Amino acid sequence: MLDSCLTPELVVEITMQPVRRHGVDAAIYFSDIVIPLKLAGLDVDIKPGVGPVLEHPVRTQEAADALHHIDADAFAPITTAVDMLVKELGSTPLIGFGGAPFTLASYLIEGGPSKDLPHSREMMRNQPELWAQILNWCADITAQFISAQVVAGASALQVFDSWAGRLSPEEYETFAKPYSERLFSQLALLVDKDGVPVPRVHFGVGTEPLLESMHGVGATVMGIDSQTDLARASALFHDKVPLQGNISTELLTANWETLAEHIDAVIASGANAPGHVVNLGHGVPPETDPDVLTRITEYIHRTTT
């Protein structure tokens, strides 16, 4: 799977499929948040049914000292794919993306997906300097990764902190936020072809208690998962921050009347935000009927224009 993320022709085809089939208003660049690890020379792969795994997790000072930034030439497949996509998409925007330092570092330290993050938590508490070194590195290589996409033509960017919801607000402030700030401070320098700073979306799962802190790292748009009411999220930001979200993926197999009522509720819930990008509250489940996604897109276009 990771090899396909570095094959421009495949990236273009997979990125374009939702645009062609469903008529969505923007394309999101096909890749994986662990691609920067692969480009940095680590032995990371995607194990079917599991997710990203590393044969040699980074848990020691020696291993951390061996980490290096990515050579600019390594981004050639990415910039080539983005250039091809921008030409094919025309006026349809392309959204670049990457993983937040906490989530990326957790994969790096745990060696794969982990519910409780035992090795990460041990390092946070007992080796804070090593933790900081690894998180800073993750912030910098993700900045390289996303910057390559935007410089090549992506119109916006999104940072996924998939595992941040496993932290308490206090833990997030200490062990994750400083490194997301480091990442977003670099992303804030990115501009589009007209010299305008690109929108910076920040998204996490189960992160309602963290939303204000996550916005505070430098995001300009907040992605909201389906566990959080959009009106409540907007109120946290005094109705001054655009939102993205948050149709429940659990209802994609419901009857159409139930799903349509839910979509109406999502649109109404986001009405107070200064902008609302309607999308799913999480990734598309594999068993989802593609025709349902097309119908959702058509329904939203019809009811919001």
Look at residue 25 and tell me whether its pLDDT is greater than 90.
yes
Look at residue 50 and tell me whether its pLDDT is greater than 90.
no
**Residues contacting 222, CB < 8 A, separation 6+:** 201, 202, 203, 211, 214, 215, 233, 237, 241, 242, 243, 244
Q: Is residue 235 part of a domain?
A: no
Mean pLDDT of 24-44: 97
pLDDT, position 49 = 84
pLDDT category of residue 193 using cuts at 50, 70 and 90: confident
| Chain position carrying tokens 């401070």 | 185
Q: Is residue 257 part of a domain?
A: no
Q: Where are the alpha helices (DSSP H) in 31-168?
A: 35-39, 61-65, 76-89, 101-110, 118-126, 128-151
pTM (2 decimals)? 0.96
d(CA 67, CA 268): 47
Q: Is residue 294 part of a domain?
A: no
What are the two backbone dihedrals, phi and then psi, of residue 112, each rounded to the nearest 5 degrees?
Answer: 165, -175
Question: Domain limits at 72?
Answer: 2-223
Mean pLDDT of 251-262: 97
Q: Is residue 246 part of a domain?
A: no
**Residues contacting 254, CB < 8 A, separation 6+:** 262
Q: Is residue 85 part of a domain?
A: yes
pLDDT, position 305 = 84
β-bridge partners, 45: 53
pLDDT, position 67 = 98
Q: Is residue 259 part of a domain?
A: no
Q: How many domains does the chain have?
A: 1
d(CA 77, CA 86): 14
Mean pLDDT of 237-243: 98
Span 127-176, pLDDT tens digits: 999 999 999 999 999 999 999 999 999 999 999 999 999 999 999 999 99
Look at residue 262 and tell me whether its pLDDT is greater than 90.
yes
CATH number of the domain that residue 129 is part of: 3.20.20.210
Q: Is residue 186 part of a domain?
A: yes
Go through 1-12 and write b for each residue having 16 or more CB atoms within 10 A of its CB, e for each that does not: ebeebbebeebb
Q: Is residue 267 part of a domain?
A: no
Percent of the residues in the chain that have a pLDDT greater than 70, as a whole number: 100
